[in-house]
């Protein structure tokens, strides 16, 4: 039945996307071509994670999101009223519900999290709705999420139409640039990120021209999607985009455009002295330590008061009862972190009959690379900037660890270099208004790139996370490049 649904959705998707032809100013034939290219990337995504990597095993985000959304869907069949409450954010942390109907979820509840928000639930909720017509066929979910991301990309094109002399080029950049096209073509937070960013810019520019209740509600929906799906991307894009309405208030005076980078620098300095909960150095250090621990592999579980981490080489010291519970069989040493604290301390646990709540058993990452530990040092954070930018924009090198797919990431970096050269040699004279937008996009991209490079020692993960960075930069490049005439048939 899943194939039947796909055959129905395929022509319907072309019809839905055709509605953007007028708002974006792009003939439908170009939208259809871009959508077809996007579907090719969705097919590649399906092959890689269903057959090359996944092979049906629930070890990857794709299967975790799919499983949890299916559990939520099953709950909806049994208790529609309770499901609707969950769908709209009520009772998501109810202990009874988590221990019964949602007890088989993998990532709905992260017992330990250093983040301000659990940013997985929006995607789980949306996919639980898709289950009502997908017949539990994961390919339908991939298709629908790809359509959602494509809708977001078209909203971006429509939003920037007034300031962009290359709307067709922008569309093809966004729909076919490998990192954007691949990672937003599946059951991923990147797909929702495209929709959230697209809605945000579309509503922001409409609100600047004409203030209506509908536009305000649309902007609030976009902010919700960005903040509760990828918080760091959402906050950075929102803050940097404030330069656009402020620039309009200042009548786009060019001298003020430099204020945004200075404000970002001052904000970074301020956050370095902020309380621990939002302290830049503390949060970056903690996130880096978490990802280093996960990338080197390990066994992670929780007790009543702490999050405990152990080296993967000690896996035979444990007995894993199921996906959610583990027991210590032999004396084992590792580290622990009390809930609400950032510092990890040494710990040794003796074998006993206690059954712990398992958080994760992580095999060491294939593409792990050494990064300089920040260790709560502001000076080290600054010194790590070159390393962070190299890891995001240049690596992986041919000698770097990883599977054969690292060459796909390397080719994407080469393509980005080509786009950069086109931007330099075929740039046009931009208006002050365009420069405000370009500076806003560029600053947002660099800040997100630094956040990724500072914290992520897994090159495969960097390639995925930089989807937002590439999207913002290629959008800025398309604005700068001289108008390109597409051949008329």
Going from N- to C-terminal start, the domains of the chain cover: 2-229, 249-277+371-480, 297-362
Which of 296-305, 352-361, 460-469 ranks highest by mean pLDDT? Answer: 460-469
Question: Binning pLDDT at 50, 70 and 90, where does residue 113 land?
Answer: very low
Rounded-to-integer distance, Cα 95 and Cα 109, Å:
11
Question: Binning pLDDT at 50, 70 and 90, where does residue 386 land?
Answer: very high
pLDDT at res. 485: 67
Rounded-to-integer distance, Cα 369 and Cα 81, Å:
48
Question: Binning pLDDT at 50, 70 and 90, where does residue 117 land?
Answer: low
If we measure between CA atoms, which residue out of 208, 218, 194 comes closest to residue 242? 208
pLDDT > 70 fraction of the chain, expressed in percent and rounded: 95
pLDDT at res. 111: 46
pLDDT at res. 211: 81
- CA dist 116 → 9, 45, 234, 393 (Å): 37, 30, 13, 27
CA 127 to chain centroid, in Å, comes to 16
pLDDT at res. 58: 44
Within 378-434, strands assigned E span none
* C-beta of residue 191 within 8 angstroms of C-beta of residue 206: no
Q: How many CA atoms lie within 13 A of 161 on its CB side?
A: 17
**Exposure letters 79-88 (e unless 16+ CB within 10 A, then b):** eeebbeebee
If we measure between CA atoms, which residue out of 236, 244, 180, 179 comes closest to residue 206? 244
Round to the nearest angstrom and report the end-to-end CA distance of the chain: 40
Between residues 386 and 120, the one the model is more confident about: 386
Rounded-to-integer distance, Cα 193 and Cα 147, Å:
13
Question: Binning pLDDT at 50, 70 and 90, where does residue 105 land?
Answer: confident
Between residues 50 and 160, the one the model is more confident about: 160
User: How does strand 325-328 pair with strand 355-362?
Assistant: antiparallel
DSSP at 364: P
Question: Binning pLDDT at 50, 70 and 90, where does residue 269 land?
Answer: confident
**Exposure letters 25-37 (e unless 16+ CB within 10 A, then b):** ebebebbebbbeb
**Residues across the chain:** 489
pLDDT at 489 over 70: no
The per-residue pLDDT for range 203-242, each reduced to its tens digit, is 999 999 888 899 999 999 999 999 989 998 999 999 999 9
Question: Binning pLDDT at 50, 70 and 90, where does residue 164 land?
Answer: confident
DSSP at 397: P
Rounded-to-integer distance, Cα 315 and Cα 236, Å:
39
Going by C-beta distance under 8 Å and a sequence separation of 6 or more, which residues neighbour residue 329?
317, 318, 319, 351
* C-beta of residue 170 within 8 angstroms of C-beta of residue 160: yes
Rounded-to-integer distance, Cα 346 and Cα 181, Å:
43
Which of 27-36, 96-105, 272-281, 320-329 ranks highest by mean pLDDT? Answer: 27-36
What is the radius of gyration, based on Cα positions, of the chain?
23
Tokens of 178: 């490998």
Going by C-beta distance under 8 Å and a sequence separation of 6 or more, which residues neighbour residue 220?
none
Q: How many CB atoms lie within 10 A of CB 383?
A: 12
Average pLDDT over residues 317-342: 87
Rounded-to-integer distance, Cα 133 and Cα 129, Å:
8
Give counts: helices (H), strands (E), the chain: 22, 7
pLDDT at 55 over 60: no
pLDDT > 90 fraction of the chain, expressed in percent and rounded: 54
User: How does strand 306-311 pair with strand 298-302?
Assistant: antiparallel
Rounded-to-integer distance, Cα 277 and Cα 296, Å:
26
Average pLDDT over residues 351-361: 87
* 3-state class (DSSP) for residue 108: coil
Question: Binning pLDDT at 50, 70 and 90, where does residue 365 land?
Answer: confident
pLDDT at 378 over 70: yes
Q: What is the residue-averaged pLDDT of the chain?
A: 88
DSSP at 65: H
Rounded-to-integer distance, Cα 98 and Cα 92, Å:
8
Peptide bond into 16 cis (omega under 30): no
Between residues 195 and 115, the one the model is more confident about: 195
Rounded-to-integer distance, Cα 413 and Cα 463, Å:
10
pLDDT at 112 over 50: no
pLDDT at res. 56: 45
Going by C-beta distance under 8 Å and a sequence separation of 6 or more, which residues neighbour residue 72?
83, 86, 102, 105, 108, 124, 125, 128
Tokens 């259809």 belong to which residue?
32
pLDDT at res. 114: 45
pLDDT at res. 57: 46
pLDDT at res. 387: 96
Q: How many CB atoms lie within 10 A of CB 162?
A: 11
Question: Binning pLDDT at 50, 70 and 90, where does residue 488 land?
Answer: low
Question: Binning pLDDT at 50, 70 and 90, where does residue 110 land?
Answer: low
Between residues 24 and 477, the one the model is more confident about: 477
pLDDT at res. 453: 96
Between residues 196 and 272, the one the model is more confident about: 196
């Amino acid at each position: 039945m899943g194939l039947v649904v796909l055959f129905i959705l395929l022509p319907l998707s072309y019809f839905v996307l055709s509605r953007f032809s007028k708002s974006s100013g792009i003939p439908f034939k170009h939208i259809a071509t871009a959508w077809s290219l996007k579907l090719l990337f969705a097919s590649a995504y399906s092959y890689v994670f269903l057959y090359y990597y996944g092979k049906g095993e629930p070890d990857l985000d794709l299967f975790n999101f799919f499983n949890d959304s299916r559990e939520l869907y099953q709950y909806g069949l049994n208790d529609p009223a309770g499901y609707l409450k969950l769908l709209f954010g009520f009772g998501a942390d109810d202990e009874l519900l988590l221990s019964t109907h949602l007890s088989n979820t993998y990532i709905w509840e992260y017992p330990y999290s250093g983040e301000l928000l659990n940013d997985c639930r929006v995607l789980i909720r949306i996919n639980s709705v898709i289950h009502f017509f997908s017949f539990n066929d994961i390919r339908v979910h991939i298709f629908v999420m790809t359509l959602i991301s494509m809708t977001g990309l078209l909203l971006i094109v429509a939003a920037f139409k007034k300031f962009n002399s290359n709307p067709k080029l922008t569309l093809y950049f966004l729909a076919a640039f490998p990192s954007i096209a691949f990672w937003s073509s599946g059951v991923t937070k990147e797909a929702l990120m495209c929709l959230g960013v697209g809605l945000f810019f579309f509503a922001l520019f409409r609100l600047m021209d004409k203030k209506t209740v509908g536009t305000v509600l649309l902007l609030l929906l976009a902010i919700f999607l960005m903040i509760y799906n990828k918080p760091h991307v959402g906050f950075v894009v929102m803050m940097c985009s404030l330069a656009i309405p402020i620039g309009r208030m200042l009548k786009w005076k060019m001298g003020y455009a430099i204020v945004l980078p200075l404000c970002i620098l001052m904000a970074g300095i301020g956050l370095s002295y902020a309380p621990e909960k939002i302290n830049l150095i503390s949060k970056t250090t903690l996130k880096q330590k978490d990802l280093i621990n996960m990338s080197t592999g390990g066994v992670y579980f929780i007790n009543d008061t702490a999050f405990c981490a152990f080296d993967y080489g000690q896996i035979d010291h444990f007995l894993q009862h199921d996906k959610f519970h583990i027991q210590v069989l032999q004396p084992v040493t590792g580290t622990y972190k009390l809930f609400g604290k950032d510092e990890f301390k040494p710990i040794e646990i003796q074998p006993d009959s206690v059954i712990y709540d398992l958080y994760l058993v992580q095999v060491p990452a294939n593409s792990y690379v050494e990064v300089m530990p920040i260790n709560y040092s502001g000076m080290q954070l600054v010194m790590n900037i070159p390393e962070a930018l190299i890891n995001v924009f240049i690596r992986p090198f041919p000698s770097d660890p990883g599977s054969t797919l690292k060459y796909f990431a390397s080719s994407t970096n080469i393509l980005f270099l080509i786009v950069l050269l086109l931007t330099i040699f075929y740039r046009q004279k931009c208006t002050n208004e365009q420069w405000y937008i370009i500076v806003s996009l560029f600053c947002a991209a660099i800040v997100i790139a630094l956040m990724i490079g500072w914290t992520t020692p897994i090159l495969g993960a960097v390639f995925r996370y930089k989807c937002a960075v590439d999207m913002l930069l290629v959008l800025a490049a398309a604005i700068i490049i001289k108008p390109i005439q597409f051949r008329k048939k």
